[in-house]
Amino acid sequence: MIYLEPIGRIRKFDARPLCGLCFKGMNMKKTLVRLLVPVLACALGTGSLAGCSLPSAAAQSDPLSAEFYAMDTVMELRAYGDGAQDALDASQAEIASLENLLSRTKEDSEVSALNTAGGAAVSVSPATARLLSASLDYSALTGGAFDITIAPVVSAWGFTTDTYQIPSQTELDALLPLVDYTQVRVRNAADGQGDQVSLGAGQSVDLGGIAKGYASDRLVHVFADNGVESGLAYLGGNVYVCGSKPDGSAWRVAVQDPDDASGNVGVLSLRDAFAVTSGGYQRYFEENGVRYHHIIDPSTGYPANNGLTSVTVVAAAEENAGDESAAGSGTMCDAFSTALFVMGTDKALDFWRANGGSLGFDLVLVTDDARVLVTKGIGSQFEQAEGTDYTYEIIS
């Protein structure tokens, strides 16, 4: 037998038995098996634990909700109460019927008929007529910053068909004269039936910037008619909150950070209100390192670039008991969010100072120099986000 010199520092061992499972002179194989099995079993146990999903946070009473696609965007409705299912069904039906009237991509819609009439008068339903009238009022109020006749220019940029391109200056020069809301005529028949609308020669209209707001106005009635006192409608960037949440607290509506889709600049606490956001980051394409977005300035034909990255307009939601198809503050918020984005920071704030009180709306503006401007009326309802690089100001 070869004698090996001591290899190192071990001089003695603790010779006590190993937890009673084995003794001196034990069978190494048996011990290994006896101990390996429980160890691997524990590993298995840990593994299955790892596979378990964790309980979700804060289980509330669940609302009924519906998610669907309409008006070229995703929509989500949530309603609480006994009438919730009826409200959801009626809401979806209402939105579908509005889309059939107002979508310019549907060939048999009233808007398409108007766009292809070549200037002739077209009969439209009360809803379409009301909405068109409201659009013209907003155009006048915003000095043309909001203008539904911008449609040909938007198409020239390819936003309608998702075939993005930069139109030439010649093309724009030819199209810009067609952007003129004053050439749109709405003739109301005496009793509201048989309304007629006509466009100027070569004009076409796109109600995309206002249709969702109008739909949200209609949902106020649908929810109320079905006895829903707590609910939320998210129509692709347009939000209507009905009442408070079931526990009485306000709905929390976060305003997305234009630069970071997973973050927000702050959260609004709202009850019975509309909130609509417009921003270039929502739809754009890039060419040669320059970003071209879908909110076209009617005066230049180019994407608006006046210092704002997003505009959020907030207003109270009231049920207009008189005329159910009238355009209300939901429509107003939608139109203003587009218009104010085009106007730019200073003009938008002047507009708010002039009209915010009488028309009842407030703003959250995000500027391209990293400021978040919140108008005084909702200052106390706006909770700033933590950890962002924005500077917050309350504007009066």
Partner 1 sequence: MKSSVKLTFCRWDLIVAALILTAAGVLAAGYWGRTLAVGSSSLTAVVSAGGQETDRVRLASLSGAQERTYSSNGYTLTVRFSPDGVAVETSDCPNQDCVHTGTISRAGQSIVCLPARISIQLTGQSGSGDADVVIG
Partner 2 sequence: MTTRQLTLCAVLTALALALSYLENFIPLNLFIPLPGVKLGLANIVTVFALYALGAGPALTILIARCLLGAIFAGNLNALIFSLMGGLAAMLVMIVLSKMKKLSIYGVSMGGAAAHNCGQIGAALLTLGNSAPLNYLPVLLGVSVFTGALTGLIASLLFRAMERTNLMKA
- Between vectors from CA 293 to CA 99 and to CA 309, what angle results, nearest 5°? 105
Q: Any contact of residue 261 with partner 1 (CB under 8 A)?
A: yes
Closest separation in Å from C-beta 277 to partner 1: 4
User: 188's torsion region: left (phi>0), alpha (psi -120 to 50) or beta?
Assistant: beta
Closest separation in Å from C-beta 390 to partner 1: 10
Binding partner 1 (rule: CB under 8 A), the pick from 91, 135, 216, 277 is: 277
Partner interacting with residue 234 (select from partner 1, partner 2, none; CB below 5-8 Å by kind): partner 1
- H or E stretch covering 156: helix 151-156
Which of residues 9 and 322 has its CB atom nearest to partner 1 in the complex? 9
**Position 107, amino acid:** E
Q: By CB under 8 A, which span of 215-223, 237-245, 283-291, 347-355 interacts with partner 1?
A: 237-245
Q: By CB under 8 A, which span of 11-19, 83-91, 96-104, 235-243 interacts with partner 2?
A: 11-19
Closest separation in Å from C-beta 34 to partner 2: 10
Q: Any contact of residue 62 with partner 1 (CB under 8 A)?
A: no
- Cβ–Cβ under 8 Å, residues 65 and 77: yes
Residue 135 tokens read as 């659009």
Binding partner 2 (rule: CB under 8 A), the pick from 13, 55, 161, 369 is: 13
CB atoms within 10 A of CB 143: 15
Find all residues with CB under 8 Å of 232, minimum gap 6, and list them. Answer: 63, 76, 77, 78, 79, 239, 240, 241, 242, 251
Convert 264-287 to b/e letters by CB count within 10 Å (16 or more is b). Answer: bbbbbbbbbbbbbbbbbbbeebee
- Cβ–Cβ under 8 Å, residues 334 and 238: yes
Size of the site for partner 2 (CB under 8 A): 29
Size of the site for partner 1 (CB under 8 A): 54
First to last CA, the chain: 98
**Position 125, amino acid:** S
Residues 21-60: x/- map of binding to partner 2 (CB under 8 A)? -------x--xx--xx--x--xxx-xxxxxx---------
Q: Which residues of the chain form contacts with partner 2 (CB under 8 A)?
A: 1, 3-11, 13-15, 18, 28, 31-32, 35-36, 39, 42-44, 46-51
Q: Which residues of the chain form contacts with partner 1 (CB under 8 A)?
A: 9-14, 16-19, 54, 56-58, 67, 69, 74, 76, 232, 234, 237-239, 241, 245, 251-258, 260-267, 275-277, 279, 282, 310, 312, 383-388
